[in-house]
A and B are shown apart, each in its own frame.
Chain A
């Protein structure tokens, strides 16, 4: 065989600096280069570079390695581009090239830190998952899952700003050392509502050092219960013990977290958390919800009462009376139905007594909170064995935004340091006129990873580190001490962490970033360790587990009704909205929270769980109200009736016609002017089912900046700087409508129609099931059949079309010419169940999948067309019992996550002409991207529409720039390569023209299988015998039961998804779930034999309730 000796030009020493210019515009900066050197002090990890960065699964390494890019080209371009392997010079401990390293950390936030496990490859975090060891394990929600993307966000703040102009570390250093050394400085610190022991300690030190120091706490949508429960005290539901739960507009499973819901969801499963028991309705909890608009909690509720926000106090008061708590409020319930509802509810609560829990929305009025507390006290349900627990944090003694404003106005402080994740200049209540107050400050320092409105309003802006880059500590909901440790040195060298900044103030004002001088321990870490203040062993343990039980957690106080409670309740304003005095709720948004996630593409593209709206916010309104207000000339129905030949009334039926606002890319919602608190906001309107009449819901957090590409021409050069490419031109800013008095909801709003329309991108246009029993539900307490739960369960498989569909019989045996069957793997046969009974419909799985499988975002226009790429999508159906006469408009909500079903008899496979998608021995429906030519036939033939096609080079061309995708090769690339650092190296990054879909996270499966084989070898060698004398049984190669978790399953905060190996039998949770009577196949009628099956949702109604017989029946008695 001939050997070609190819002489390559030696790489010049300065090559490195030269060709940095060749990669990405954005990271082509001195800082980034420096970072590279610092991140890998002795040179980079193994590097290589072949093809275009974009399409490579090793983008990151390529990026690193591109220091030597092009060296080989020209010489051997005709053969194959020259590639280099650049090993460490000194290999760091623990890092094995090509293997993931996992670290425990946590995401600090107001409702308590989220314990996490972070996956890193060669030092770059790519994925976060929940930390199951943690006592406060609560899964992860969409925000936690998406947080990793912010680390690499191209709109991250990188530079110090002084008066909005770029500045340097040195100048800032000078500025703060001046302040730090002025002991009499009138300085105020604004923290977030999260609880960080070290920060608390430093704050104390600073307080001791500066005589005039003040401390504040501010997050736009967080309200603490000081006035109701006492300082630092909060009530946390104890769902293990809560049999009956009443939510007074408290979206505890969604945007208003109250602690871990795992126990709550486990008790939604009649077979128990692990599906190991016989179905038993009595073990289930029962959730009553009183709310105005559909929340995920309302969706889970067994009994849901929809009332306008201004009436909730009245309802609560009535409940209190029925329960027997003595409170006085001049409000009475007139509606007989409601009264009955309330009375039965009260009876049920009283019956369960201490095993009950009444939760109240954290942003609700004090009056309501007092009433709720009164009820809880009456029920005596607060305590270790009871439905609720009270905890007291020492993290107290802070002023709020109002006091901050007045202190600024009164010059009580002239220097203020913002460390809050919120954006006060943007989101403070309008009546405070905060931006004017901040202007009065001599020095204002804003530390954030986004240079937002506040950044430009302050004198100084400090680029802050991401929580995955910084040392800190935090406390989870019940006060468990949790560490926050960095996975990576700050991506951009100027970034300062909160603690580092505080240390500077506490000390002599010297700001030390990242590692200490000459590689000594990072000061921030030292500070955290000092707070921790335990033995080295315990410290190591804490770092390993992500928490430490050695440090004391919250104490448990005694709670009682506040002295002023009675008065507060008396003053409670009770009113009833009408069509010209509407109620407005300023809602927390499921995608941007209070606006802090505006620049996160994954969250922006994740549809709102209720409205299915992406990339925007809109005012939600009940169909009837919309009609009354003349926004639509007919009532928008769930399954609209239309006539076949135009003449109304002739051949009326459900023909799935297009909605009056259009469909897909043509959908344009009418714009209306909402006037409240004397301010007016123009925004699009969406009809929302199950919402209280005469109530408007406006999600907050949008409309932070617009450039001249805005559809409504709201371009504003100044504000456009506040957001990045993702956040610009997004939605409508409702904060100006909001005053401190009406921070949650306001009354007396009016609306005015305009002729204008605004295009909205919905991922789901049709809300009903059209009689198809797709997402099924049953009732534990089927009134019509004498509460026969068994009867209901037996009927699950026979709902809808399946009631009369014949069983499918295959004509031929599934085997090859040697008689070998197809699903031949004797070790593993993968399958999944999704339990609709605990699935609430949040987007955690969807975002987790996106970060695990390198799924690109596609932007608003593409979503509107129907080209979103989510491998698992969240279908959300509204359904109602056909003769519901209690409240027919109170439709029930059933979510249904749909990914690839891995059908054993997959229609997609047979139609592919090039064998790009075929079945594997272990029952996966494999997709070979590099074989796919993109005929898209498979997707047509997929009944579940689980396949996604790369219509453009979404990974290469930036979909967010207007019209960019249509420019093809001329289009702009993603600005910078930082987003490629997040990519999972074990999943191919798909190019345009390729079909893709869920594969049960096959990369995780393969890794586990190989790990098992490796383990086998160890055993063999340790046995001391010759390897050939060892018998390796098939069983020995089977991976441990339920040891592989798919990304969606891992993320799920409701543990609704189980995944496992069918051959493990009932040892596997998944198989036990499949054995449940609730288990059914979606579209069983086609006979695709899906490996993913669903468990019907179980509603657990109270048969005394007036609406009981309509609960959990909507897919049985379909309209």
Chain B
């Protein structure tokens, strides 16, 4: 598959480059031009067959699942879903929280890692941000169409009306509306601004024609002058600074939907940190799920190196452990409350009608990442991929446990009833997965999936004082090309 990745390293700057004593983020002394070529190549060359094999089915699923599903829903009523008078929020909200969670890693990588000067982020942040945008789009579908009268959803917008009535700013749901829409908008800005220089690159490489014009328009006439760069860098820094609290706030606000209620099992102060950790956890898992195949398909092993994967695995291990702690703390808080309702809520989670969901959540989210304590496991891509998939599933189950299990056994036993999802429920969820894949594949097809400018900047010689180092001769460290490394460890 990764045929294009086998091109031999060449160095057109002529001179022998001494290297500082640290592992390079870009292997094999790739030149600026090589980087440009390789990344733009993805867009300019014909897509590998695999791309079509993924794109066609997923777009079809998206069309039927989301398009068809929503049509039936709106024309007929929320009753087509499995929700009942007992479980008023069923799968739809489970899926909403699931997707919103995934939508966190992107901005996190771009913003927090940027602020903390983690240069290794440069080669994954673009894709991660794209993922964020698409995940939030998928997430948005659920709450939006979840309301019984979606044609009156504009009641949520504080616009003056003849009824002289307003929204209820005490409602966590209203906070949610503001939080999610803000998050989406800011992420979009962040993503787009980050792409402008790369769009210019593509523009300048295109043959004249419609594509050149389109890229030209979106590149806004970027010239790469330093008078632009200086503002641009500042803007990027600011956005990062803004997004960091934002990304933390969004899932906190989502968790308020539960934490501020009186429902036993929801009414917990640890929800915000617990949800945020969970979101980062799930988000990184999804990044890995998508990037590992992508780097093979497009031969980006030199840009997305084992170091990146290793780092992400470590983050998953950390956040996974935090989430595990939260799970246990919940139990303790319930026990400590001394209230039968609280205690039962968790008793029923563990061993009640949905014990399997709880078991799945525990094993997939808390146990599976523990394998990352071992370096060898972090270096084995199959393992990493497997764990990432486990976490994706596990996080869905976490939301299922929180929402469905709790509502099915609330205060009055006389009103207990279990929940069963309708086909439309499942259709829509699968549909959003299809939609997510479709959008991501289109992104790979038409937009630079790696931040060209930043990757170049991550090269050592990008430092203007680089040549000053010639003073003290340094042969640099021997580095095995990443993909050879994989050939030895990963493929068995």
Contact = CB atoms under 8 A, between A and B. Distances in A.
Given A644-B351, A953-B77, A914 B149 contact: no
A665 B419 CA distance: 8
A875 B414 contact: yes
Given A664-B418, A940-B89, A934 B75 contact: no
Given A933-B152, A940-B407, A969-B75, A866 B414 contact: no
Contacts of B78: 934, 936, 949, 951, 992-993
Interface stretch (B22-30, B169-177, B229-237): B169-177
Contacts of B407: 940
Interface stretch (B272-280, B296-304, B333-341): B333-341
A1083 B411 contact: yes
A968 B76 contact: yes
Contact of B414 (A898, A992, A995): A898
Interface residues of A, number: 80
Given A664-B417, A875-B415, A943-B411, A656 B89 contact: no
Contacts of B33: none
Contacts of B147: 933-935, 993
Given A933-B155, A940-B88, A896 B77 contact: no
Interface in A831-867: 862, 865-867
Interface of B: 72, 75-80, 82-89, 143, 146-150, 152-153, 155-156, 165-168, 170-174, 177, 257, 260-263, 338-341, 344, 347-348, 350-353, 355, 407, 409-420
A785 interface: no
A914 B156 contact: yes
Interface string A935-955: 111011101110111111100
Contact of B353 (A658, A867, A949, A953): A658
A931 interface: yes
Contact of A898 (B84, B85, B153, B412): B412
Contact of A965 (B79, B167, B353): B79
Interface string A225-239: 000000000000000
Interface string A947-986: 1111111000000000001111101000000000000000
Given A771-B340, A940-B89, A993-B147, A656 B79 contact: no
Interface string A764-785: 1110111110100000000000
Interface in A1082-1098: 1083, 1085-1086, 1088
B89 A910 contact: no
Given A644-B350, A966-B76, A932 B149 contact: yes
B470 to A, nearest CB: 64
Interface in A748-776: 764-766, 768-772, 774
Contacts of B351: 642-645, 651, 653, 655, 657
Contacts of A804: 338
Given A801-B341, A945-B85, A968-B76, A658 B149 contact: no
A907 interface: yes
A155 B58 CA distance: 50
Contacts of A910: 168, 170-171, 260
B263 A941 contact: yes
Pairs of residues from A and B, 4 with the lowest C-beta to C-beta distance, nearest first: A934-B148, A993-B148, A968-B76, A951-B79
Interface in A614-649: 642-645
A656 B351 CA distance: 9
B413 A770 contact: yes
A945 B415 contact: yes
Contacts of B263: 940-941, 943
A256 B222 CA distance: 89
A94 B350 CA distance: 66
Given A944-B412, A994-B149, A1086-B262, A939 B417 contact: no
B167 A915 contact: yes
A663 B87 CA distance: 13
A642 B348 CA distance: 11
B171 A912 contact: yes
Given A644-B350, A933-B155, A947-B85, A876 B148 contact: no
Interface string A566-608: 0000000000000000000000000000000000000000000
A1050 to B, nearest CB: 24
Contacts of A914: 155-156, 167-168
A911 interface: yes
Contacts of B341: 772, 801, 1085
A912 B168 contact: yes
Contact of A866 (B84, B149, B150, B166): B84
B414 A868 contact: no
A910 B171 CA distance: 6
A824 interface: no
A877 interface: yes
A966 B174 CA distance: 30
Contacts of B75: 968-969
Contacts of B84: 664, 865-867, 951
A184 to B, nearest CB: 63
Interface of A: 642-645, 651, 653, 655-658, 663-666, 764-766, 768-772, 774, 800-801, 804-805, 862, 865-868, 873, 875-877, 896, 898, 907, 910-915, 931-937, 939-941, 943-945, 947-953, 965-969, 971, 991-995, 1083, 1085-1086, 1088
9 contacts: A655-B355, A656-B348, A877-B413, A898-B415, A912-B171, A914-B168, A951-B78, A992-B78, A993-B147
A1088 B263 CA distance: 12
A910 B78 CA distance: 23
Contacts of B417: 663-664, 765, 866
A958 to B, nearest CB: 14
Contacts of A898: 412, 414-415
Contacts of B347: 653, 655
B418 A913 contact: no
**Residue among A805, A866, A867, A971 facing the most chain B CB atoms (10 A cut-off):** A866
A835 B52 CA distance: 69
Given A656-B348, A656-B409, A952 B76 contact: yes
Contacts of A966: 76, 79-80
B82 to A, nearest CB: 8
A696 to B, nearest CB: 26
A352 B13 CA distance: 116
Given A913-B171, A914-B155, A967 B76 contact: yes
Given A907-B261, A932-B148, 17 more contacts: A655-B351, A805-B339, A867-B79, A867-B84, A873-B414, A898-B414, A913-B177, A914-B168, A933-B148, A933-B149, A935-B143, A935-B147, A940-B89, A945-B411, A945-B412, A953-B77, A965-B79
Contacts of A965: 76-77, 79
Nearest to A773: B340
Given A658-B418, A967-B76, A994-B149, A774 B85 contact: no
Q: Which of A932, A945, A953 has the most CB of B within 10 A?
A: A945
B238 to A, nearest CB: 31
B156 A911 contact: no
Contacts of B338: 804
Contacts of B85: 866-868, 939, 945, 947-949
A849 B339 CA distance: 34
Contacts of B149: 932-934, 991-994
Contact of A992 (B148, B153, B355): B148
A866 B172 CA distance: 26
Contact of A765 (B171, B173, B260, B416): B416
Given A663-B418, A940-B88, A940-B263, A945 B410 contact: yes
Q: Which of A896, A995, A1085 has most B Cβ within 10 Å?
A: A1085
A914 B78 CA distance: 19
Contacts of B146: 935-936
Interface centre among A658, A947, A1083 (most CB of B within 10 A): A658
Contacts of B412: 772, 774, 875, 898, 943-945, 1083
